[in-house]
Amino acid sequence: MNYRTPICAAALCATFAFTTGAAAQGWNWSYGADMTSDYIDSGVSKSDGFAIQPWVEVENSGFYFGVWGSNIDLGTDDKWQYDLYTGYRSNVGQNFAYDLGLVRKSYDDTGYDRSEAAVGLTYTFDNALYVKGYAAYNWTNTSYNRYAQLGYDFGDRWRTSARYGADDGAASDYYWDVGAEYAFTDNISFDLRYHGRDGYDEGVVGMVKLAF
């Protein structure tokens, strides 16, 4: 899954959200683009360098629909990945949030790749420290992707987080990343992160995020 995963728990997003929605008859639209020095998916590079990743999402009463894309370099004729996703996210009380979603992944040349069902659970302590668990089932090739994440917000601008996961369908058994993010404005932020997988280090990846 892309780094801006559709399974984004509501409480987690609220603590460090840089998006603003334009309401139209109850529907809230948000859109943006990430520009990253490398597209890393489950610890594996899928772009072999710079990638631009536009997205758009619409939400109403917790239900959301969206599309996300990225240029890729897999050594094939495929040059673009695009994901269609939908789901429902909500809170339980002040601190707990959940997100249930479906995503369909496709490539521009070879077409349909796979579909996943996923769940994200987040618990936030005092609006600063949070823990998140994520699990996705890929029913196309009957594999699982799961990770645990720990993060901390330093005021309104700084956030740091670390993640450890395993993906049965990827080129490695496990993957991890650790890094920090800084918000210049409500709409522009920068993330610097170190990625690794199964005895191999992908290295440092920088990402500029634009969201509106």
Q: What is the pLDDT of residues 80-112, one digit of tens each?
A: 999 999 999 999 999 999 999 999 999 999 998
What pLDDT does 77 receive?
95
Residue-wise pLDDT tens digits, 5-21: 444 433 334 333 334 44
pLDDT score at 25 = 61
Query: CA–CA separation, 33 vs 54, rounded Å?
Result: 4
Alpha-carbon span 106 to 83, nearest angstrom: 6
Cα dihedral: 109, 144, 138, 131 (round 10) = -90
Query: What does each C-alpha distance from 11 to 67, 89, 97, 125 come to in angstroms?
Result: 22, 9, 6, 11
Residues near 108 by beta carbon (within 8 Å), at least 6 away in sequence: 78, 79, 80, 81, 82
CATH class of 10-211: mainly beta
